[in-house]
Structure 1
Amino acid sequence: MGVVNVTPDSFSDGGKWLDAPTAIQHGIDLVAEGADLVDVGGESTRPGAARIDGDEELRRVIPVIEGLVAEGITVSVDTMRASTAQQALDAGAVLINDVSGGRADSEMLGLAARTHAPIVLMHWREHSAVMQNHTHYDDLVDDIVRELMGQLNHAVLAGVDSGRIILDPGLGFSKTGAQNWTVLAHLDAFTELRHPLLVAASRKRFLGELLSDPSTGSGHAEIRPTDGRDDATAAITTLAAQAGAWCVRVHEPAASADAVRVVARLAQEAQ
């Protein structure tokens, strides 16, 4: 899943693809580099981000979705709003990627049920502005699995086809850097839920912290910039593929696509 952030303030590439023609071309380039689908979002969900209004989100994403669909590209929409998801589906998107797991908008699950659109339910506790105030867990992996299963059951009760639900453990959302590593070390706990698993680690801060440069002379380690985290992202893709993940969400698909091919080839030998 290649990322197209049509935003001025996303943590990695905010402002780079803000106008529709540039964003559409970027989506085309992502597919050429190996992306199977392109995830278009108009609202930043980085830690501390403030929400935008629905009209602005629509203004950003709908022309991009229409342009990518016209190029024959498979598109998902990254949104927490049912109204945006509906218009995105009308414009040709085929999947809803809701980082709130259906919790931010009470209409989202009903929309997924009515339209039969596949939906990603991510583990989520609170909106970006305050989510890092909610990182306490009694047992990290067990608590995330339990809360994610609660979101899943709520979706099924709302009429969403269980076979069209994808799960995401929500790396970086209400989780510290250390907690992200624990989640990654226990991806089997999520693949055992028997739903397709989306892993979204690309360029996130915990990778930058791991790759910090201690030799800056400033007395503290300099965190690796976002565009220097793609090799580490590809390493996470390898681990996710080995664990049986359905998809990874990445900013630079080429290395991750190669990593998936390597894991698939090794799996043939293990049969």
Structure 2
Amino acid sequence: MGILNVTPDSFSDGGNYTAVDSAILQAKRMIDDGASIIDIGGESTRPGAAEVAIEDELQRTIPVIEAIKARFDTVISIDTSKARVMAEAISAGADLINDVRALQEEGCLEVVAKSKVPVCLMHMQGQPRTMQTQPQYNDVVNDIMQFFTQRIETCERAGIARDRIILDPGFGFGKTLEQNYDLLANLAKFKRLNLPILSGTSRKSMIGNLLNRVVSQRLAGSLTTAILAVEAGASIIRVHDVQETVDSIKILQYMHQQQA
């Protein structure tokens, strides 16, 4: 999954792809590099990020979805927590909902239930503006497992079939450095829920803070965490650096074939 932030303030690439033309060029690069999903986001969810008005988010994302859908045969994901944005994105051609708030905002369950698209439910403790202020868990893995179990049940009651659900433990979203790596070390445990796992660690502070690297220096760490996630059973890897990640995973897969 290639990340396409059409925002002015995302932590890694904010402001780079706010124009439709530049967004299309970046989408083409990622598709050519091997991305099978393009994840379009119109609201930054980095720590401390301010909320974005619905109209602003729609103006940022819908023209980009329509333009990419008209030009490329690729799966488009909309990264949003707003019901209206979800609905209009689906109408514009979005194939997947990627929600950091796991369909907990008003109207979101209903929008997804009425559609046929799959949804990725992410775990986040708190809200982006405050989520990194002393996050606390009894047991980070078990607590998130319980959260997923509850959200899956809620989705099923709302009419969203289980086979439409993807799970994302939410690296960096209300987790300390140690909690993030505890999650990564135990990522395989989420396979017990028998649903696809999405892992998103690309360029995040869990890499920068451990290695003392600024955002532009986090490629090696991003690749390592991507490989570890694939080894743990993740089905989707959400990244900024598509070509390098695809190359790394191809080598990993080839080695697995050699060992079979």
TM-score, normalisation: structure 1: 0.92
Q: Which runs of 5+ in 2 are unaligned?
A: none
Q: Which runs of 5+ in 1 are unaligned?
A: 213-223
Question: Within 1, Cα distance between the matches of 2:259 and 2:140?
Answer: 32
Question: Within 2, Cα distance between the matches of 1:150 and 1:133?
Answer: 25
What is the correspondence of 1:223-262 to structure 2 with a 5 Å cutoff?
A: 224-262=213-251
Residue in structure 2 matched with residue 217 of structure 1 by the alignment: none
Kindly state the Cα deviation for residue 189 of structure 1 after the two structures are TM-superposed. Answer: 1.2
Kindly state the Cα deviation for residue 106 of structure 1 after the two structures are TM-superposed. Answer: 2.4
CA contact (8 A) 1:116 1:161 kept: no
CA contact (8 A) 1:126 1:134 kept: no
Letter in 1 for 2:101: S
SS of equivalent residue, structure 1 residue 192: helix
Residue in structure 1 matched with residue 101 of structure 2 by the alignment: 100
TM-score, normalisation: structure 2: 0.96
Q: What are the Cα deviations for residues 52-83 of structure 1, in whole angstroms up to 9, with x where unaligned?
A: 11000000001111111111232100000111
What is the correspondence of 1:114-129 to structure 2 with a 5 Å cutoff?
A: 114-129=114-129
Kindly state the Cα deviation for residue 126 of structure 1 after the two structures are TM-superposed. Answer: 2.2
Q: What are the Cα deviations for residues 126-149 of structure 1, in whole angstroms up to 9, with x where unaligned?
A: 221121236111111111111122
Question: Within 1, Cα distance between the matches of 2:41 and 2:157?
Answer: 27
Q: What are the Cα deviations for residues 134-192 of structure 1, in whole angstroms up to 9, with x where unaligned?
A: 61111111111111221121111111010010000000111011110110000111122
Residue in structure 1 matched with residue 168 of structure 2 by the alignment: 168
SS of equivalent residue, structure 2 residue 193: coil
Residue in structure 1 matched with residue 80 of structure 2 by the alignment: 79
Question: Within 2, Cα distance between the matches of 1:32 and 1:22?
Answer: 15
CA RMSD of aligned residues (A): 1.2
Deviates more, 1:151-160 or 1:2-11: 151-160
Question: Within 1, Cα distance between the matches of 2:182 and 2:96?
Answer: 28
Question: Within 2, Cα distance between the matches of 1:193 and 1:243?
Answer: 14
Letter in 2 for 1:79: T
SS of equivalent residue, structure 1 residue 17: coil
Residue in structure 2 matched with residue 135 of structure 1 by the alignment: 135
CA contact (8 A) 2:125 2:135 kept: no
Percent identity over the alignment? 40
Question: Within 2, Cα distance between the matches of 1:248 and 1:86?
Answer: 25
SS of equivalent residue, structure 2 residue 132: helix
